[in-house]
Structures are given as C-alpha cells and as structure tokens.
C-alpha cells in the first residue's frame, strides 16, 4: 500500500478529486491529507472520496494552517470520522485510541509517553531507529520517507537532472513495513508558499529499471542573454522536451501528463496551479502502475 502525504493545498486537492472522479486512483493508494486551508475544495474532495469508496486519512491535528483554532479543530474531528490520522507530539494530551486510526510518529519523544496499547496501533514513521524501536509491536508500520531533493533554485536542477525516487513496494515488505509513503514531490518541511523563480521546472516521475520509480527534473532552457522570456515562452520550451520524452515512450500516459501536453498543443501557459495539479496527478497515476506491476 502507498500512502502519499499531501498538505491539502488547493491544486493538490483538485488533483486527488479529478483522479477519484475519473476512477484513476488505485485503491492501493491511500492519501494522507494534512489540511492547511479551509476551503470548499477540501469538503468537495472528501465527499467524492466517500462517494467512490476511496480510502484516505485526514489528519485531525495539523501542525500549521487555518484549522489551528478551537473551532477549526472541532470541524476536523467531524470530517475525519472513520478516516482519522493523528500526529503524535511531545506534549500529547489524552487520546481516544482506535486500531482503525493512523498515528504519525515524527519523533521518539512523543512516543515515550504513550500507553503500550497505543504503540500496538497503526503508525507511519520515518526510518529512524529511535522511533522504530518503540514501534516493534505496531500492528501496521508504514515507512514515511522524504526522497525528493528540494533545491533552493530551479536552475540547480540542471546539474542534477535525474534521480531515484522510490523502489518497489516489495522492498519495503522485505523490511517488515506494511506500506510506504512520501511527500509526493514536496518536502517533509512545510512551506506555506513558494517564491518566484526565474526558471520553470517540472518534476515528473517515470518507471526505471527493476521496479523503481525515478524523477526527472525538466528545467526551462538557460537565458544567457537575459532576453526576459515570458512564463509562457519558458513553459513552451520546457514542455517541448517533455513532449519528446512522451513520444519516445519514456513517460507513461496519464491524465496528469495529458493535461500538461494539452496546454502545449494549444500554445498556452496553463498557470502554475494547473501545472502543480498535472504533476501530482501524473505522480499518483504512475505510482499506481508501479504497484499494479
């Protein structure tokens, strides 16, 4: 099972919603959503998940964002019923344990004060021995990793264009994990918003050898003469390389990739939000193919 960890931003939610409506999100993919924005999109996405019977978890105590109020947390308690995930913190108050819930362990300190019954539950945790030693009896242990290399500027990816993203789920099963997850081309560290960058970059996953998933960083061409190209011009140059990869069969056909290539065919810049949505859709669909194989 694959557990992508998403911060519940607008276009991440739209990516999930469209995939579920189109029945293109495998049941072996269980999104873990940490809601950071109160929006209609969040409510609509959760409703579509429930209608389609798509498994998911909603974190009822996010560590940042709009829900960090008494009213906001009460709202999440209601929304998360039957699909609750909870982040274990160092100053953890009283919990209502349920074996159906998912507990997220980011530090060993928070686990030390938990009753033994809680440690028998289902946990997602990083590969850190101080944490894993306390979760030996967990009924389900999900490896939550952070494989994406986040560089401070998009131009730096020209020197680091391709990398391993993850190996097959069989690798994690051999290590005793019941599932694995990651931050879906994002970072464990939460950023409320990005910063303007001179270069555009698309991070697209594709199948590698021996049941592995790699990520290629497509960066808009350098502009040494400072021609001040528009975002549209940079995008069209960038997506042209993506189109070449797709025609060569190096990228799998997905709804998300089709969304990006459609903009290229129509000679338009779709906007950064739509680009983000397309990349996430492509990522989740491709991961589903890896799990099916």
- Supply the angle between the helices 255-265 and 231-247 in degrees, to the nearest 10: 120
Closest to 213 measured CA to CA, from 142, 143, 271, 285: 285
pLDDT of residue 114: 80
Angle (CA) 132 134 135, round 5°: 65
pLDDT of residue 236: 94
pLDDT of residue 172: 79
Q: Which portions of the chain are predicted below pLDDT 50?
A: none
pLDDT of residue 59: 95
- Here the tokens at position 218 are 């497509």
In angstroms, what is the C-alpha Rg of the chain? 20
pLDDT of residue 48: 96
Q: Is the pTM of the predicted complex or chain greater than 0.85? A: yes
pLDDT of residue 197: 77
3-class SS of residue 149:
coil
pLDDT of residue 275: 95
pLDDT of residue 33: 96
Cα–Cα separations (whole angstroms), residue 137 to 58, 123, 134: 24, 10, 8
pLDDT of residue 76: 92
Determine contact, residues 96/80, Cβ cutoff 8 Å: no
- The answer to whether the Cα torsion of 277, 203, 124, 37 is positive or negative is negative
pLDDT of residue 196: 64
CA gap 43, 39 in Å, rounded: 7
pLDDT of residue 43: 95
- Here the tokens at position 190 are 């939460």
Angle (CA) 85 88 92, round 5°: 120
pLDDT of residue 228: 77
Q: What tens digit of pLDDT does each residue of 10-56 get?
A: 999 999 999 999 999 999 999 999 998 889 999 999 999 999 999 99
Q: In terms of DSSP bridges, do strands 122-125 and 102-105 run parallel, antiparallel, or are they unpaired?
A: parallel
pLDDT of residue 99: 83
pLDDT of residue 269: 94
pLDDT of residue 68: 83
pLDDT of residue 226: 61
- Here the tokens at position 16 are 């999930």
- Here the tokens at position 278 are 């397309």
pLDDT of residue 191: 59
pLDDT of residue 227: 63
- Here the tokens at position 38 are 């109160």
CA gap 54, 50 in Å, rounded: 6
CA gap 3, 174 in Å, rounded: 18
CA gap 21, 226 in Å, rounded: 44
């Amino acid at each position: 099972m694959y557990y992508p960890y998403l911060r519940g931003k607008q276009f991440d939610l739209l990516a999930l919603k469209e995939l579920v409506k189109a029945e293109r999100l495998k049941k072996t993919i269980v999104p873990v959503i940490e809601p950071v924005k109160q929006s209609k999109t969040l409510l609509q996405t959760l409703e579509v998940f429930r209608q389609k019977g798509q498994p998911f978890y909603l974190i009822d105590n996010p560590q940042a964002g709009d829900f960090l109020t008494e009213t906001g947390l009460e709202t999440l308690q209601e929304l998360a019923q039957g699909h609750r995930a909870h982040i274990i913190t160092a100053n953890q108050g009283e919990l209502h344990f349920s074996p159906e819930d998912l507990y997220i362990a980011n530090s060993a300190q928070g686990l030390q004060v938990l009753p033994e019954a809680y440690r028998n539950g289902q946990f997602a945790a990083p590969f850190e021995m101080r944490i894993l030693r306390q979760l030996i009896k967990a009924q389900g242990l999900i490896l939550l990793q952070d494989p994406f290399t986040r560089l401070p500027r998009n131009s730096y990816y020209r020197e680091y264009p391709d990398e391993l993203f993850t190996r097959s789920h069989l690798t994690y099963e051999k290590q005793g994990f019941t599932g694995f997850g990651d931050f879906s081309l994002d970072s464990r560290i939460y950023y409320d918003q990005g910063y303007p960058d001179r270069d555009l970059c698309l991070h697209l996953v594709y199948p590698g050898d021996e049941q592995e998933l790699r990520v290629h960083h497509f960066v808009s061409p350098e502009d040494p003469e400072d021609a001040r190209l528009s975002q549209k011009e940079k995008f069209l140059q960038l997506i042209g390389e993506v189109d070449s990869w797709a025609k060569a069969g190096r990228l799998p056909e997905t709804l998300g990739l089709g969304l990006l290539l459609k903009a290229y065919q129509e000679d338009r810049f779709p906007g950064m939000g739509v680009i983000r949505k397309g990349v996430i859709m492509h990522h989740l669909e491709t991961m589903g193919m890896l799990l099916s194989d």
